[in-house]
Structure 1
Amino acid sequence: MPSNTVENTGGTRPLRVVQWATGTIGSRALRAVIEHPGLSLVGVYVHGADKAGVDAGDFCGLGTTGVTATREIDEIVDLDADCILYMPSGCNMDEVGRLLSAGSNVVTTTGQFHHPASMDPDVRRTVEDACRLGGTSIHSTGSSPGFISEAIPLALTSIQRRLDSLTIDEYADLSRRPSPELLFDLMGFGQPPGEFAAYRVAYLQASFGPSLMHLADALGLPVDALESTGEAGTASRTVEIAAGTLPAGTIAAQRISVTGMRAGQPLVRFRASWYCTTELEQEWDLHETGWHISVAGDAPLEVDLRMPIPLDRMAEISPAYTANRAVNAVAAVCAAPPGIRTTADLPQFIAALG
């Protein structure tokens, strides 16, 4: 197990960490770093001018830390951090390359690095060159994809000697999510069904396809192709949700599947069922927020993972599922050989909780 400290002439010291971005996930990761027994926060990068100069503790409800936020990447590079927790809304490859080449490892919740073989060859080459130059590694992780599409399936298949198929069902009740821009504008809830938006299906394939391909490769069963489909469920009556009104007959649920095919048969599948009400015109089997994993093989399994959180507290607590895994990955990524490191490349992440 990699240590959460590094050797120096005086013995050992905590790993020096920078938190990059302080949104919903970033601020939760920031709090975890500050409270972590084996990590030392040395810097915070922010995008907004109003956040520059603010103490790190103010972003996550803690007291004064003495570490203030900056918008200057030069200041971050000069910190010579062991690891950057890189959590912006989108991945800037120029930023990533500079951090890696300067000698800081990167753990990111952006999903570009789950499956190096399917990356754009030029981008992959540039990132790997930066890793060689800096002697660093980079790893993408989170709750979904990451934990549920890689770590858990790899554990469940460790008792198989034949795998016929593996399906991950993700369920999310969004009825108490007070985010009209997210639900209505981005996800398409409350809109006439028509033909289900192709961009939603493409988004899920881009998010989960590389993770499923990595899983299949790790098992020695590489997939031949990815297939993705989407369907909408419509409200049987007008309902009020935290984000606003869902008129009867409009999209109130969506189900999107991304499937890795092998020899013409489905091998690994991620299926997202996200809904704002269970009162649908269609008959859908909807579960509480969480995951169900079905493993068909010579040691078949059916596994449920539920989030025992009241819906009105879900937005408050759920970021921990993504942020904590990234924080717990820091030690393993810092100890890894240079390069783009996948879940299969790294040891199991063991949380240092003492």
Structure 2
Amino acid sequence: MHTNPTYRVVQWSTGTIGVRALRAIVEHPDLALAGVYVHGDDKVGRDAGELCGLPPVGMAATADVEDVMASGADCVLYMPNAPDVDTLVRMLSAGINVVTTCGLFHHPDSMNPVVRQRIQDACLTGGASIHSTGSSPGFITEAMPLVLASIQRRLNGLAIDEYADLSRRPSPELLFDLMGFGKPMGPFEDFRADYLEASFGPSLRLVADALGLPLDSIESSGELAAATRNVTIAAGPLSAGTVAAQRITIAGIRNGSTLIRFRATWYCATELSPAWDLLDTGWHISVDGDAPLEVDLRMPIPLEKMAEISPAYTANRAINAVPYVCSAPPRIRSTVELPSFVPALGHR
């Protein structure tokens, strides 16, 4: 017998991850689609099912915030490129819970105090909660480390390595223009490390605080490796001597040494100068404690299908968070303040 409540959910944005989330809402046994907010005139008025590759569901997409406010939603899955605090305040003040893949809310203490107070006040006014999650940061930098730390009584260090083979990603704008692959070798551009520090630093602080080992600082750095020969990747030609791999490290420092760190290694070729040890796309976690662990998480997906399938890693965690965020007392809610997410894969 189905005893769980049905939550009315609006999907906000229909980019790569948003489309995957929209489909999951429609197919979810305990969620009901309350609306779809889109960017772009070409999507306005189109049926939500059409937007995510399903049969029509009788819900037209909108670009009007008023439609969202009038939808009777319990929760908005908020997935824009960048958050709009004024819109979030309005939704929370109206009692609409928010689950977002925007990383602003991973660690409330790291937030701009003025923004944090506005959001907290809105939560209390509307009796709603907001939570940031995703695959990375989120699952791999919070949920997994906390589980692995649950069998430790001493922690000397925790290292998370993310690997992404981008050689079959047919996205020249992403790889060459935005990420800088194929450019002449030179000094690492600090803004790239700064961007990841803003995304992952709060997540590392959250875990350290939860373990009673607060960090003194966050440090970020980056390095590059060049292709040793001309290669052709899905995005186009990559010349020998140009950037073919980049590695960014975000380190949480405590008492002068690294306690917890996240390192992203993204590569378009495997023959590199200098030579790097590369793993297949996925994650490796190393726990140095009194119960040491080495954990590999691989994505067993053909590289040609990675762009199609990988959005599920982020979208699904957000979907599974909805009932827990809707049930939480009003506040910015971090991973450590919510139960572990148990997905409803059928009526319970």
What TM-score does the superposition give when structure 1 sets the normalisation length?
0.96
Partner of 1:227: 219
Corresponding position: 1:81 with 2:79 = no
Could you tell me how far apart the structure 1 residues matched to 2:305 and 2:299 are?
11
Deviation of 1:128 after TM superposition, in Å, equals 0.5
Q: Any idea what the Cα deviations from partners look like across 1:129-169, whole Å, max 9, x if unmatched?
A: 11011100000000000000000000000000000000000
Could you tell me how far apart the structure 1 residues matched to 2:203 and 2:3 are?
26
What are the residue-to-residue correspondences of 1:43-122 with 2, within 5 Å? 43-122=35-114
1:39 aligned partner, one-letter code:
L
Could you tell me how far apart the structure 1 residues matched to 2:232 and 2:318 are?
35
CA contact (8 A) 2:100 2:130 kept: yes
CA contact (8 A) 2:79 2:100 kept: yes
CA contact (8 A) 1:5 1:15 kept: no
Q: Any idea what the Cα deviations from partners look like across 1:18-42, whole Å, max 9, x if unmatched?
A: 0000000000000001000000001
Partner of 1:189: 181
Query: Of residues 145, 151, 156 in structure 2, which corresponds to 1:164?
Result: 156
Corresponding position: 1:349 with 2:341 = yes
CA contact (8 A) 1:5 1:39 kept: no
Deviation of 1:80 after TM superposition, in Å, equals 2.0
CA contact (8 A) 1:20 1:46 kept: yes
1:80 aligned partner, one-letter code:
G
Partner of 1:142: 134
What are the residue-to-residue correspondences of 1:235-314 with 2, within 5 Å? 235-314=227-306
What 5-or-longer segments of structure 2 have no aligned partner? none
CA contact (8 A) 2:34 2:72 kept: no
Could you tell me how far apart the structure 1 residues matched to 2:110 and 2:322 are?
24
Could you tell me how far apart the structure 2 residues matched to 1:110 and 1:41 are?
21
1:185 aligned partner, one-letter code:
D
Query: Of residues 20, 29, 40 in structure 2, which corresponds to 1:37?
Result: 29
Q: Any idea what the Cα deviations from partners look like across 1:34-68, whole Å, max 9, x if unmatched?
A: 00000000100011111111100011110010011
Partner of 1:333: 325
Question: Which is worse superposed, 287-296 or 96-105?
Answer: 96-105
State the superposition RMSD in angstroms: 1.0
Could you tell me how far apart the structure 2 residues matched to 1:4 and 1:334 are?
16
2:104 counterpart SS class: coil
Q: Any idea what the Cα deviations from partners look like across 1:97-123, whole Å, max 9, x if unmatched?
A: 111111110000010000100100000
Partner of 1:205: 197
Corresponding position: 1:21 with 2:2 = no
Could you tell me how far apart the structure 1 residues matched to 2:273 and 2:262 are?
24
CA contact (8 A) 1:4 1:331 kept: no
CA contact (8 A) 1:232 1:253 kept: yes
Deviation of 1:5 after TM superposition, in Å, equals 3.8
What 5-or-longer segments of structure 1 have no aligned partner? 7-13
Runs of 4+ in 1 over 6 A off after TM superposition: none
1:167 counterpart SS class: strand
Q: Any idea what the Cα deviations from partners look like across 1:189-231, whole Å, max 9, x if unmatched?
A: 0011210111111111011001001111111110000011100
Deviation of 1:171 after TM superposition, in Å, equals 0.2
Could you tell me how far apart the structure 1 residues matched to 2:301 and 2:193 are?
28
CA contact (8 A) 1:193 1:232 kept: yes
